[in-house]
Amino acid sequence: IAAALREELGASARKVPKGELPDWLMKLVALVDGTAKQAVPDLGRWLPVDTTQTRRTLGFEFIPGRAAAVATARSLLDLGLA
């Protein structure tokens, strides 16, 4: 996501992190931060998503994740929230 934001938003994405936080560091932070602690069980896990039933029921297609992340970032920039 970070790479897509930097690529699509250019200078507007200057605050987007450039690296990935290692799992061991996240676990260390989780010792003192409750929010980080909630993420620890999901570290290193791939969580597949199937939108078949939602698409069939609601009758629409989801936009790709990359496009959604960029659109969200653009919206936040336009609203002055980022």
User: In this predicted structure, what is the pLDDT of residue 8?
Assistant: 95
User: In this predicted structure, what is the pLDDT of residue 82?
Assistant: 84
User: In this predicted structure, what is the pLDDT of residue 39?
Assistant: 94
Instruction: Report the chain's terminal Cα–Cα distance, integer Å.
Output: 16
Q: Quick check: helix, strand or coil at residue 8?
A: helix
Across the chain, which has 82 residues, the per-10-residue mean pLDDT values are 94 91 95 95 91 93 94 96 88
Rounded Cα gap, residues 46 and 69, in angstroms: 19
User: In this predicted structure, what is the pLDDT of residue 47?
Assistant: 86
Tokens at 44, concatenated: 């290193």
User: In this predicted structure, what is the pLDDT of residue 24?
Assistant: 96
Give pTM, 2 decimals.
Answer: 0.71
Q: Is 5 exposed, middle or buried (0-12, 13-18, 19+ CB in 10 A)?
A: buried
- The answer to whether 62 touches 51, Cβ cutoff 8 Å, is yes
